[in-house]
Amino acid sequence: MRASHAVLALACAVVLGVPALAHAYCRTTTCQTAAGQACSQPSNGCVTDGLPIQWPVDCVSYDVSMQPTQWASTADLSATADRAFARWTAVDCPGGGKPSIELLDRGPVACGAHEYNDPQTRSGGNANIVVVLDSGWTASRDDEPTSTLALTTVTFDLVTAEIYDADIEINGEKSLSMDDVPAASSFDLDSIITHEAGHFLGLSHSRATCSAATCPTMNAAYLPGSTKFRTLEADDIAGICAIYPPGRQAERTACVPNYGFSSACGTPKVESSGCAAAPGRARFAPWALIVLVYLCLRRRR
């Protein structure tokens, strides 16, 4: 029987420490607590337990949900997601070349719920979705019930560290912006999706801090009205190139989700006796609305 999967729930903490290593990016790992939650990232370092996760393929598809949102049309949201994801594959790696992974927008899908359909537990295919939830947001932490701006849930194999599925949920109960220059009190959708795409690809929060001029996209602090996270910095580029180095030989080349693609949500199966494997998940809850000095916001993932 194949090794069990894990669905990891990670909380984003603000990174204020000085990096102790040559790089400040952190990778998400298979490490989990006894309760099945993701290991907490130290304020001054990366989680080193477990294996770093990555997509084992050379092409991953994503889809924007057609679920209505007041903040953008499906077409505009898709265009924003395309820009955000493309930033990660367009970088020039330090040693030359591009990251060895392609990101493909398959087009809008009907499903607007995070799920992973494994034939043992659910019927249906899969899609890696981006969805804005204008109501019923329940993804925030218990100690910050209204703070979370977005959540990325990554499903992966606990033994091989292969990513199987990733879904990005954005809190539409907040004031979101599609403007080139967002209002000071709103949150830039482009920045949010670009940051979440980093988690989608296997990055955790960077230990590098923001300055007045720059801020790594994977930093855990976000300033309302800012567009800094639209631009990947050296730390972000080093991270994505470490996960998907140029010339990497992927295990598979098909750009199709595990167990096939489906635009519709799956259906839970009735439990039966026998052995079943539960997938592992990593959940990244993003930025919170707590003011912290000039960095302004704390996020969690």
Any domain includes 80 = yes
Any domain includes 1 = yes
Q: What is the DSSP annotation of 88-153? A: HHSPPPTTSS--S-EEEE---BS--S-----TTTEES-B--EEEEESS----S-TTSTTT--EEEE
The number of domains in the chain is 1
What's the pLDDT at 138? 78
What's the pLDDT at 223? 79
Any domain includes 256 = yes
Any domain includes 260 = yes
What CATH code is carried by the domain that includes residue 105?
3.40.390.10
Any domain includes 271 = no
Q: How many CB atoms lie within 10 A of CB 112?
A: 19
What's the pLDDT at 275? 30
Whole domain around residue 177: which residue ranges? Answer: 1-266+277-301
Any domain includes 272 = no
Q: What's the whole-model pTM score?
A: 0.84
What's the pLDDT at 33? 82
Any domain includes 230 = yes
Cβ atoms 6, 282 nearer than 8 A: yes
Amino acid identity for residue 38 in this structure: A
What's the pLDDT at 280? 55
Q: What is the mean pLDDT of each run of 10 residues along the chain (301 residues)?
A: 44 29 83 83 88 96 97 97 98 96 97 93 94 86 61 94 96 95 95 97 91 86 87 96 95 89 89 40 46 25 35
Cβ atoms 26, 235 nearer than 8 A: no
Any domain includes 164 = yes
